[in-house]
Amino acid sequence: MTTAAALPPTAVRALPRTPTWWRDATLGAAAASLVFVVALWLTGGGLSALTGAGTGVTSLGRLAGLVGSDLLLIQVLLMARVPIVERSFGQDALARAHRVVGFTSFNLVLAHILLVLVGYAALDHRNIVSETVNVVWTYPGMLLATAGFAALVMVVITSVKAARAQLRYESWHLLHLYAYLGVGLALPHQLWSGSDFVTNPLARVFWWTAWGVTAATVLAFRVGLPLLRNARHHLVVDGVVTEAPGVVSVHLRGRDLHALPVRAGQFFVFRFHDGQGWSRGNPYSLSSAPDGRTLRITVKDLGDGSRRLAGLRPGTRAFLEGPYGRLTADARTKRKVAVLAAGIGITPALSLLQETGDDAVLVYRTRKRDDPLFADELDALQRKGIRLVRLAGPRAQRPSWLPKQAAHLSDAEALHRLVPDLRERDLFICGGTDWVNAAEAAAKALPKAQVHVERFSW
């Protein structure tokens, strides 16, 4: 096995700088689409229909359906892995927006169903049960739409935090793919039964374009780009090294890795062709700065998917999606950096610091003071001139990023003491969700803090 440290430095393909206006343009396009669908409702007699009881409820249902459908497409596009969108917002921000937009769109679709059924029942002088049966069985595309809504219900239920905690990441990810099925099955209902499709040519052009662009984007970046990259780079396991109890590093080699547009601090979704269940992917950060010839990930045993990595054999084929994440040097706005890392969050922090200059501060939070993870490499960073601060011990008895022995300080005060010149640095934070939330809140309580985060969650 060859290690990254043993290889001579080689050129790594630089990521293009993303224009600052792209983020605003993306948000503007999303807002414009929502304004447009509301305008469709208005021009289709949405306001005038509010004068009647049955027609009014039905019209409000139409509005909820239009906005909900548009948000469903936006939700899909948020996680379509479009590289320029990833670089503009960062995977962490996109995942949070995806969750908010997803729940909002589902609630609007649910409101659409209930309002339309109540309105139709009033107009047809039927009770709600018989009207529901009539609509599902006699309206074109409604059986497919019902099946699609059932798929969305399953996705929403398994996305609730309490339910998600009971599932393995691999199972949750597989169930989450049914969102595509749910969105796709709703299309015939809109085409065949939706008045905004049937009567308005401009609406038909808009919705066909929106559906087509969304489908093409998903196919291009969730399917096509990964297939091309895996065919080109042909990644295989070079070796597996035990770093600490329950923690292993997987070294990978492949072809033309210098052309892979990856930077230190990013992560990939990996699949290892090592037997049953290999098709289920897991996200792992690079734990060493890419050198153009090898990649390294370091994984803590948190479940079946991570546990099996310890048994990987050299030569095992690895398939990747990505790179993802914005926790890179490209996000910097200042010359100096500081990094807060907790637990296995040291992996992207380590690779990032290997790539940045020597005027950096690393605050590393661990459960035990004698944690051996990456001890040699941390020593090497210190010899390079990077200041290392170790925070060890049990958690403070309150929501905090600090250990118990520092709980007498406020989170912001402790951060200011550890990094007194924070306003002169970009601050990168990586670790578990609760810890990152506490550290981010502490940083934002200080003036002029420039904060970049990566939460280890799903």
Choice among 173-182, 343-352, 363-372 with the minimum mean pLDDT: 173-182
Predicted confidence band at 345 (pLDDT cuts at 50, 70, 90)? Answer: confident
Domain ranges of the chain: 21-227, 234-324, 332-456
Give the pLDDT mean for 335-348: 89
Q: Which of 36-45, 63-72, 240-249, 295-304 is predicted least confidently?
A: 295-304
Sign of the C-alpha dihedral, residues 384, 389, 393, 399? negative
For residues 156-179, give the mean pLDDT: 66
Q: Which of 3, 8, 1, 71 is nearest to 34 (CA)?
A: 71
Distances (CA, A) of 228 to 199, 233, 268, 286, 353: 42, 9, 15, 21, 30
The residue assigned the tokens 């990566």 is 454
Confidence tier at 169 by pLDDT (50, 70, 90): low
Angle 382-13-88 from CA coordinates, rounded to 5°? 85
pTM above 0.75, yes or no: yes
Identify the helix (H) or strand (E) that includes residue 238: strand 236-244
Closest to 135 (Cα-Cα) out of 115, 156, 151, 105: 115
305: pLDDT strictly greater than 60: yes
> Residue 391 corresponds to which tokens in the numbers above?
């925070």
Share of the chain above pLDDT 90, in %: 29
Rg over CA atoms, the chain = 25
* Predicted pLDDT of residue 328: 83
Q: Which residue has the higher pLDDT, 280 or 315?
A: 315
- Show the DSSP H helices in 356-430 as ranges: 375-384, 411-418
For residue 337, pLDDT over 50 is answered with: yes
**Is the pLDDT assigned to residue 15 strictly greater than 90?**
no
Cα 301 to Cα 293: distance, rounded to the nearest angstrom? 26
What's the CA gap between 300 and 247, in Å, rounded?
A: 4
Q: Is a pLDDT exceeding 70 seen at residue 7? A: no
* Per-residue pLDDT at 95 exceeds 50: yes
* pLDDT value of position 8: 37
Domain 332-456 is of which CATH architecture? 3-Layer(aba) Sandwich (3.40)
Which CATH topology does 234-324 take?
Answer: Elongation Factor Tu (Ef-tu); domain 3 (2.40.30)
Q: Which residue has the higher pLDDT, 195 or 364?
A: 364
pLDDT attached to residue 213: 92
Q: What is the pLDDT of residue 171?
A: 64
Amino acid making up residue 367: R
Query: In the predicted model, what is the mean pLDDT of residues 380-405?
Result: 88
Q: Of all helices (H) and strands (E), which one includes residue 156? A: helix 142-159
Q: Which is nearest to 86 in space by CA: 351, 348, 321?
A: 321
Q: What was the pLDDT predicted at 2?
A: 40
Mean pLDDT of 366-383: 81
pLDDT band, residue 371 (cuts 50/70/90): low
Which of these CATH numbers, 1.10.150, 3.30.499, 3.30.420, 1.20.120, describes 21-227? 1.20.120
pLDDT value at 418 more than 90: yes
Tokens linked to 241: 């090294």
Tokens representing residue 173 in the block: 């990810």
Is 406 a residue whose pLDDT tops 90? Answer: no
Inter-CA distances, 53 with 24, 58, 128, 378, Å: 41, 9, 15, 70
pLDDT average, residue stretch 341-349: 87
Average pLDDT score over residue span 320-344: 87
Topology agreement, domain 21-227 and domain 234-324:
no
**Look-up of token digits 């969108």:** 85
Strand order in the sheet with 318-324: 282-285, 267-272, 318-324
Q: What pLDDT is attached to residue 10?
A: 40
Q: How confident is the model over 27-51, as a mean pLDDT?
A: 87
- Please check the confidence at residue 133 and state whether its pLDDT lies above 90: no
**Mean pLDDT comparison of 99-113, 190-204, 354-368, highest-scoring range:** 99-113
Q: How far apart are CA 295 and CA 279, in angstroms?
A: 20
pLDDT at residue 416 in the model: 93
- Average pLDDT of the chain? 83
In degrees, rounded to 5, the angle at the alpha carbon of residue 221 between the alpha carbons of residues 216 and 225 is: 120
Looking at per-residue confidence, does 61 or 13 come out higher? Answer: 61
236-244, strands of its sheet edge to edge:
236-244, 247-253, 294-300
**Which pLDDT does position 108 carry in this prediction?**
93
Is the pLDDT assigned to residue 87 strictly greater than 60?
Answer: yes
Q: Could you read off the pLDDT of 427-444 as tens digits, one per residue?
A: 999 888 889 999 999 999
Task: Give the model's pLDDT for residue 9.
Answer: 40
